[in-house]
Amino acid sequence: MKLEIKWNTWLKPALKVVALSFLTIGMFTSVVKTIQNWDDDPDRGAAMLSENQFGDHYDTIFPNKDSGEYISWQGWSPDDSMWFYTTTQGSDLLPYDFFMVLEQEKSTELFRADKNMDFYRYIPLKPTFSNPDGLALGFVKDSYKGKDYMGLTCAACHTTQVNYNGVAMRIDGGPALANMENFVIDMSKALRQTLNDPKKEQRFIDAVMDRNGFAAWISGGRNYTSEEKVKEDMEKFASRIEDYVFINRSHLQYGYGRLDAFGRIYNRTLQHVLNKEQLEKALSKVLEPDVSAEIIKDIDASVLTDNEFDHVVERIKPLLSLKQLVTLKRELFNEPDAPVSYPFLWDIPQHDYVQWNGIAANAGLGPIGRNSGEAIGVFGTLDWVEEDGFSLSAFIGGQTGHKRHISYDSSINVNNLERMESHLRDLTSPVWPETVLPKIDKALALKGSTIYRKNCLSCHALIERTDPSRQVVANFTSVKKIGTDPKMASNALAYQGRSGILEKQYLSLGEGSLVLEEKMPVAVLLTAATTNVVATPDPDKWFIRRWADWAYTLTASFFDNDVKASLKRGDYEPDTTVNPFASLMAYKARPLNGIWATAPYLHNGSVPTLYDLLLPKKKPGDPKDGEYRPDEFYMGSREFDPNKVGLKSRGYKGSRFLTHLTGNSNAGHNYADGMSKYQRLELLEYLKTL
């Protein structure tokens, strides 16, 4: 009887609510997928621009509605591409209204103007259904806790375009040419100049308020209701972006087509896990004792409370001199001085390990954790606080045995990250388009295939690019043996930071579990942080949908992933209980299908063309009249060189690449040494066919 009463009084209604919630989610998902197919612009939003400083020129897009080659090109239709370009992952760099009206630092021209975005090598787009404001490719509106922000999508870093004879070839999943470093620096300067110039500031405020006028109020989209709030957020976001630039300043300029994404993700993580106790320890180590005591005394509720961790530098810098801030930065953060090329994304869901040194396993929930880390790096809002009591999210995230727990609320859209990974399964590598580029010499390529099988196949497997069941097993080679620049790998292994709110948590690794101590490798802290982010339902959704959505996303992510946990393959130092990260000192080789469209080459982008990669690096004592990899070249042009297979690297104002700098070395990967020039040309011709 008692069981019957419980069923009738609460269990049955509860199950009805749960069933209704899942039905609602199913209907919502169906609607979303339907809308996803509405933006089928045949030119994928392409905007035509006049010739620029890089010498780029195009008046035709490939593929287009006349070519009819969309699906055979990369497996995606125009609406598939447009969804990839415009789907938010929870990135919140700047209030959306601010970005729409912000002027350039020394001009009244808008910062978001096509010409300016093209200068940073972000691809301009015209307004379309899913991009009504005509934002550059990879920029999107994200809504979080009732406010709209401008953020970056996956496509901002993983879409490229190469031009040849006036034809622009859009390559989805390709490595971007973006100069994100200078983009953020210049945005910071534009915001500060707006605050410093009264006329500029007033134009800005008037424009923001105009966007938030009566029409916005009627539609429920008003973000600002007073000039005072606009001014408050102007100062807040100007300071916040300046802090980002300050923390991530590197002696090594990245230039076009490169970013130390992991270095910046690490620093974003360290900034948000830092707690008051460990901040006080850092201050006491780097400042004069009497000064340190005085500053620590001033760390009250207005600077850093016991349970609030976000934007530590922003909150404490009014108390420090510039010299003290620089010293504290060195104590808390690591210099992101190992820029690499943006990886290309085709076959990524089929890989066993991803990233240049295989730092991320792709089995199980690995992809959603990896993508959450990436969203942290591109300005996801991290509202992490310490709270009393039990939390299911904290328990799932590995926070056990503590009276208090950390709530990892954030703007990161885990649901969209799972959908994005699923979407990428249909993306294939681009085939050399003989309707645009010179035709491949089949006889020469046939000879090159023999050379490939002898010299390259052991590391770079051949796969069927359109096989839905294809598996990609990465082949790892130790940094010492391959001889390429070690900086990216060594940073991943050596960089450490304070664990803060993560201290004393357990983290499972392949060789066992670690207890997080006060200072730990940042790679470990990032893993712990992303685990908790994934374990936390979306705070923007109502309670039942929040948890139902969360359960659906994780279940779909796990069971829809065919990649299983496996050992790394290749010639590298394996992980052990003594050194659980030893394998990170290696770089992975992957299949080379579509390699023709991914210049520059080597993991750090130090070689502009495939032909150059097949040449030796000049060493002391080598003949001066020999043919070697270039020690200096320029990046930024999209103009394609079909003979050397790469991008134009001279004759324009781009970023200068000097290979003698640490992090920029073009040495190593000498597998073409000993080949004649004709053999190199045969191999090069074959590489075009992949």
Lowest mean pLDDT among 35-49, 92-106, 154-168, 238-252: 35-49
378-400 mean pLDDT: 83
332-350 mean pLDDT: 96
183-195 mean pLDDT: 98
Lowest mean pLDDT among 7-16, 318-327, 607-616: 7-16
Rounded distance between C-alpha atoms, residue 137 and residue 123, angstroms: 5
State whether 44 and 139 are in the same domain: yes
61-71 mean pLDDT: 79
Q: What pLDDT, on a 0 to 100 scale, did the predictor assign at position 389?
A: 79
More confident residue, 222 or 430: 430
pLDDT digits (tens, 9 = 90+) for 594-615: 999 999 999 999 999 999 999 9
The verdict on residue 18 lying in a domain is no
State whether 56 and 173 are in the same domain: yes
State whether 538 and 446 are in the same domain: no
pLDDT confidence tier of residue 10, bands split at 50, 70 and 90: very low
For the chain, the helix, strand and coil percentages under 3-state DSSP, each to the nearest 5: 40, 15, 45
State whether 541 and 614 are in the same domain: no
338-365 mean pLDDT: 92
Q: Within 13 Å, how many C-alpha atoms sit on residue 634's CB side? A: 15
Q: Is the pLDDT of residue 529 over 60?
A: yes
More confident residue, 107 or 546: 107
Contacts of 672-678 with C-beta under 8 Å, sequence gap 24+, read 672/455, 672/613, 672/614, 672/615, 672/616, 673/616, 675/451, 675/614, 677/627
Q: Is the pLDDT of residue 655 over 60?
A: yes
The verdict on residue 364 lying in a domain is yes
Let me know: does 689 contact 595? Beta carbons within 8 Å: no
| Structural domains in the chain (count) | 3
Lowest mean pLDDT among 14-18, 51-55, 674-678: 14-18
State whether 659 and 630 are in the same domain: yes
More confident residue, 351 or 510: 351
Q: Exposure of 264 by Cβ count < 10 A (0-12 exposed, 13-18 middle, 19+ buried)?
A: buried
State whether 127 and 242 are in the same domain: yes
State whether 420 and 545 are in the same domain: yes
Q: Which domain-ending residue is among 253, 274, 309?
A: 253
Residues sharing a CB contact under 8 Å with residue 30, sequence separation 6 or more, in sequence order: none
Portion of the chain with pLDDT greater than 90, in percent = 61
Q: What pLDDT, on a 0 to 100 scale, did the predictor assign at position 8?
A: 45
The verdict on residue 243 lying in a domain is yes
366-370 mean pLDDT: 89
State whether 421 and 448 are in the same domain: no
The verdict on residue 473 lying in a domain is no
Q: Is the pLDDT of residue 370 over 50?
A: yes
Residue 383, number of CB atoms within 10 A of its CB: 16
Portion of the chain with pLDDT greater than 70, in percent = 90
Let me know: does 662 contact 487? Beta carbons within 8 Å: yes
172-190 mean pLDDT: 97
Let me know: does 70 contact 78? Beta carbons within 8 Å: yes
Q: Is the pLDDT of residue 13 over 80?
A: no
Residue 555, number of CB atoms within 10 A of its CB: 11
Rounded distance between C-alpha atoms, residue 657 and residue 343, angstroms: 19
Mean pLDDT of the chain: 88
More confident residue, 277 or 412: 412
Q: What pLDDT, on a 0 to 100 scale, did the predictor assign at position 7?
A: 37
Rounded distance between C-alpha atoms, residue 564 and residue 372, angstroms: 20
Sign of CA dihedral 394, 418, 262, 590: positive
State whether 242 and 146 are in the same domain: yes
Which residue reads 């050379």 in tokens?
451
Q: Is the pLDDT of residue 14 over 50?
A: no
* Domain housing 629: 442-464+594-689
The verdict on residue 583 lying in a domain is no
The verdict on residue 99 lying in a domain is yes
259-286 mean pLDDT: 89
State whether 512 and 651 are in the same domain: no
Number of residues that make up the chain = 690
> Six-digit token pair at 521?
């490798």
Q: What pLDDT, on a 0 to 100 scale, did the predictor assign at position 613?
A: 97
Q: Is the pLDDT of residue 302 over 70?
A: no
pLDDT confidence tier of residue 402, bands split at 50, 70 and 90: low
Residue 494, number of CB atoms within 10 A of its CB: 14
**Single-letter amino acid code for the residue at 288:** E
pLDDT confidence tier of residue 504, bands split at 50, 70 and 90: confident
Q: Tell which residue, 599, 608, 598, 596, has the closest CA to residue 651.
A: 608
User: Apex CA 261: angle with CA 180 and CA 491, to 5°?
Assistant: 135
Q: Which domain-ending residue is among 224, 253, 282?
A: 253
More confident residue, 439 or 518: 439
DSSP letter string over 256-315? Answer: TTEE-HHHHHHHHHHHHH--HHHHHHHHHHHS-HHHHHHHHHT-STTT--TTB-TTHHHH
Q: What pLDDT, on a 0 to 100 scale, did the predictor assign at position 94?
A: 97
Which residue reads 């590995």 in tokens?
398
State whether 192 and 131 are in the same domain: yes
Q: Which domain-ending residue is among 576, 605, 621?
A: 576
Q: Exposure of 512 by Cβ count < 10 A (0-12 exposed, 13-18 middle, 19+ buried)?
A: exposed
pLDDT confidence tier of residue 283, bands split at 50, 70 and 90: confident
415-420 mean pLDDT: 93
Q: What pLDDT, on a 0 to 100 scale, did the predictor assign at position 149?
A: 97
pLDDT digits (tens, 9 = 90+) for 93-118: 999 999 999 999 999 999 999 999 99
The verdict on residue 534 lying in a domain is yes
The verdict on residue 300 lying in a domain is no
State whether 387 and 245 are in the same domain: no
pLDDT digits (tens, 9 = 90+) for 454-502: 999 999 999 999 998 999 999 999 999 999 999 999 999 999 999 888 8
